[in-house]
């Protein structure tokens, strides 16, 4: 039987304890205000997060999934429209596209960054014969930015919207420009395990377009501009005041904690460089925020079990690409040959523990056990 996990792949409680005083004060402030839905905590967080990103507008919503759904609706993308995205992502990306009534077109990923492959994207658009394409949803997976300059250029040439899925990339950047400011609209999740996580669900839409921001604010609350009067058909997806207060308490520490993630990643890389594992690499000119530290081996499940037996949790994100999951097997793929890189990554990729509260001895212990596995018969070269 495996030992109880003593090193967790992610640790929301440790994140809370690291900021306990600030979070407790923020929650108390929100409770004592007597205003619990779309009040000053949400509006203040919206301003602060927009300023952090260098964007004009943030609109707080109920979750990252709902942020993508609402972003599509804001841009008028819905039934009868096609949206290009990847299959190697959290299923929420594809689910949100379908919640908006649009049809996902799934393309393959780049083998080194695990984000949308721009050559596959270009080919998919050129060869598409289905529902008229209206948007691209690139996913900044594991904290590594997608190739936004190339994606935006392709989108502009084909007159497509770009909606960034930034659920795993809070604070990541290309050059000096943060992720979330490259597309027409960007979407964030504040699920507790994210780089900027709440103590429950939460999400946000980010844009520089004031008309889209105004429409998104109406759509998130029944289409109201004036209370109880629906000008357009809307939804109920609102960032909670309590969660906004928590996010305000944690936002000032985001860059520092992302730097700690990079330090942990560098320690892993230095320790594991001589092993047969394929280690993550940041593309030139990008700031990786290591939401996950990913290693690849054809013997991934053996490594995961080896670590679990020694009390170390490692995540499999994700065990199947979306197009091979039972609920989505009939979705349209960009290539008749399938999505080989997405499928290969899902068989081989393992995420080692990486969160800001992980200690140096814990990082060393994880690396030592990975090395020990690599020295056994199970760790034979890839």
**pLDDT at residue 1 is higher than 60:** no
Quick one: pLDDT band at residue 335, thresholds 50, 70, 90?
confident
Delimiting residues of CATH 3.90.1150.10 domain(s) in the chain: 254-379
The residue-averaged pLDDT of 253-272 equals 98
Burial category of 157 from C-beta neighbours within 10 Å (exposed 0-12, middle 13-18, buried 19 and up):
exposed
Domain 13-108+115-252 = CATH 3.40.225.10: no
Number of H helices, E strands in the chain: 13, 15
**pLDDT tens by residue, 191-205:** 999 999 999 999 999
What's the confidence (pLDDT) of residue 380?
A: 57
Measured CA to CA, the distance from residue 130 to residue 42 in angstroms comes to 40
Residue that is written with structure tokens 């993550």 in the block:
280
What is the rounded CA–CA span in Å between residue 298 and residue 221?
Answer: 47
* DSSP one-letter string for 25-37: HHHHHHHHHS--B
- For the cut 60, the answer to whether the pLDDT of residue 119 exceeds it is yes
- pLDDT of 33 reads 98
Q: What is the pTM of this model?
A: 0.97
User: Taking all residues of the chain, what is their mean pLDDT, rounded to a whole number?
Assistant: 96
The per-residue pLDDT for range 122-139, each reduced to its tens digit, is: 999 999 988 899 999 999
Residue 38 in contact with residue 241, Cβ under 8 Å?
A: yes
Contact between 239 and 60 (Cβ < 8 Å): yes
Taking only the tens place, the pLDDT of each residue in 67-98 is 999 999 999 999 999 999 999 999 999 999 99
Q: What is the pLDDT of residue 382?
A: 45
Determine contact, residues 205/216, Cβ cutoff 8 Å. Answer: yes
Can you name the CATH fold of 254-379? 3.90.1150
- Within the chain, all domains assigned CATH 3.40.640.10 are found at 13-108+115-252
Residue-wise pLDDT for 272-319, tens only, equals 999 999 999 999 999 999 999 999 999 999 999 999 999 999 999 999
């Amino acid at each position: 039987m495996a030992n109880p996990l003593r090193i967790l792949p992610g640790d929301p409680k440790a994140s809370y304890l690291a900021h306990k005083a600030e979070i407790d004060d923020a929650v108390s402030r929100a409770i004592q205000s007597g205003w619990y839905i779309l009040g000053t905590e949400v509006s203040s967080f919206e301003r602060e997060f927009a300023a952090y990103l260098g964007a004009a507008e943030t609109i707080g919503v109920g979750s990252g999934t709902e942020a993508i759904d609402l972003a599509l609706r804001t841009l008028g993308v819905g039934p009868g429209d096609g949206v290009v995205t990847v299959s190697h992502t959290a299923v929420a990306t594809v689910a949100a596209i379908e919640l908006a009534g649009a049809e996902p077109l799934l393309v393959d990923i780049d083998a080194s960054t695990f984000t949308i492959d721009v050559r596959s994207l270009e080919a998919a658009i050129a060869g598409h014969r289905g529902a008229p394409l209206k948007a691209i949803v690139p996913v900044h997976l594991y904290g590594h930015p997608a190739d936004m300059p190339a994606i935006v250029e392709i989108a502009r040439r084909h007159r497509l919207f770009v909606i960034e899925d930034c659920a795993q990339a809070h604070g990541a950047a290309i050059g000096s420009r943060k992720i979330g400011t490259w597309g027409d609209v960007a979407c964030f999740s504040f699920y507790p395990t994210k780089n900027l996580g709440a103590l429950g669900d939460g999400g946000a839409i980010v844009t520089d377009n004031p008309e889209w921001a105004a429409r998104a604010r109406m759509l998130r609350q029944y289409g109201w501009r004036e209370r109880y009067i629906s000008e357009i058909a809307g939804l109920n997806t609102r960032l909670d005041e309590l969660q906004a207060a928590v996010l305000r308490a944690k936002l000032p520490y985001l860059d520092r904690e992302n730097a700690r993630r990079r330090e942990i990643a560098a320690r892993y890389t230095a320790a594991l460089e001589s092993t047969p594992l394929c280690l993550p690499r940041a593309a030139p000119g990008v700031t990786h925020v290591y939401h996950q530290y990913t290693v690849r081996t054809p013997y991934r499940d053996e490594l995961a079990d080896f670590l679990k037996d020694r009390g170390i949790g490692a995540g499999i994100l994700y065990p199947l690409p979306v197009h091979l999951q039972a609920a989505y097997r009939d979705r349209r793929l960009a290539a008749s040959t399938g999505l080989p890189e997405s499928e290969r990554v899902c068989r081989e990729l393992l995420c080692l523990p990486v969160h800001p509260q992980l200690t140096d001895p814990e990082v060393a212990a994880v690396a030592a056990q990975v090395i020990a596995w690599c020295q056994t018969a199970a760790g034979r070269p890839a």
